[in-house]
Amino acid sequence: MSDFPPPPPPGSPYQPYPVVQQAPRNGLGIAALVLGIIGVVVGIIPFFFWLAVILGVIGLIFGFIGRGRAKRGEATNGTMALWGIITSAVAMVLSIVGLVILVGVFEDLGQEAAVETGSTVAPATESPTSPATDTSSPPQDAAPTEAVELDVYKLRVGDCFTESQDTEEEIIYTVPVVPCSEPHSDEVFALVTLPDGDFPGQDAIYSQAEELCIAEFESFVGLSYRESVLDFWVIAPVEEGWVAGDREVICNIYDPDGNVSGSLSGAER
């Protein structure tokens, strides 16, 4: 004979053993919300965007798992898990925005560090508008008494120099300035300024520079450029100089027949 009581009949309200209720598994939903909130706070702090990415990714994973548990009835904080997903996503967005801003800041700093005290310039290979600046001649006592190697950015109207004709360099940094009474190939007849704006391209720079110099040619020589037998060339900014803020063009007159002695100012030829 059995020592255990017989099982209750079907439909009986009495059960032989108590039913054990499982505790809700809410841990991941709570963790997702906590990580999301911390990620949002960290995401707005400069240089800590990388930490917001990590917290956001982990928070998203925990949030989706917690949300799945709530849907299966294993957890009771489905709303909390959903907010954990939302805040974690916001943290990741903030981290991306922070990264973009930080990269932009470093690029700006790099450009400022690359700016040199003197930008480089290049001569044009052809010749020819707009208002010009500084076409007055310097005082006679300012002229050099002997050949001096001078930075092109220190050239002034009336300076005479001799450029090497066999040079293949496209960028000019210095020129040998000599007294205009001595034989020389070139003379500065005007300094003009290009309009501000984005770099339009090297060909466009030369074209604008030549037009500006043509507008000043007649006032220096006494004849228009089309009537004169003299010619000119320009020293204009290259792209690196343009980015650094250089807009000045140096207009240089010369005689195609060869070196001259004395200034071409008022030459009328």
> What residue spans define the domains of the chain?
27-114, 121-254
Determine the pLDDT at residue 101.
82
Count of CB atoms within 10 A of residue 38's CB?
18
pLDDT, one tens digit per residue, over 125-156 is 333 333 344 444 444 445 556 678 888 888 99
Question: Residues 209-238: what's their mean pLDDT?
Answer: 93
258 in the Ramachandran plot: left (φ > 0), alpha (ψ -120 to 50) or beta?
left
Determine the pLDDT at residue 137.
42
- Phi first, then psi: give them for residue 77, nearest 5 degrees: -115, 50
Asked whether the whole model's pTM tops 0.75, one would answer no
Residues 6+ apart with CB under 8 A from 9: none
Mean of per-residue pLDDT scores for the chain:
79
Determine the pLDDT at residue 20.
57
Confidence band for 100, pLDDT divided at 50, 70 and 90 = confident
Sheet of strand 248-254, all strands in order from the earlier edge strand to the far edge: 121-123, 231-237, 248-254, 186-193, 160-161, 174-178, 148-151
Confidence band for 17, pLDDT divided at 50, 70 and 90 = low
Structure-token pair, residue 152: 């092109």
pLDDT, one tens digit per residue, over 62-73 is 889 988 888 888
Count of CB atoms within 10 A of residue 233's CB?
21
Question: Residues 174-203: what's their mean pLDDT?
Answer: 92
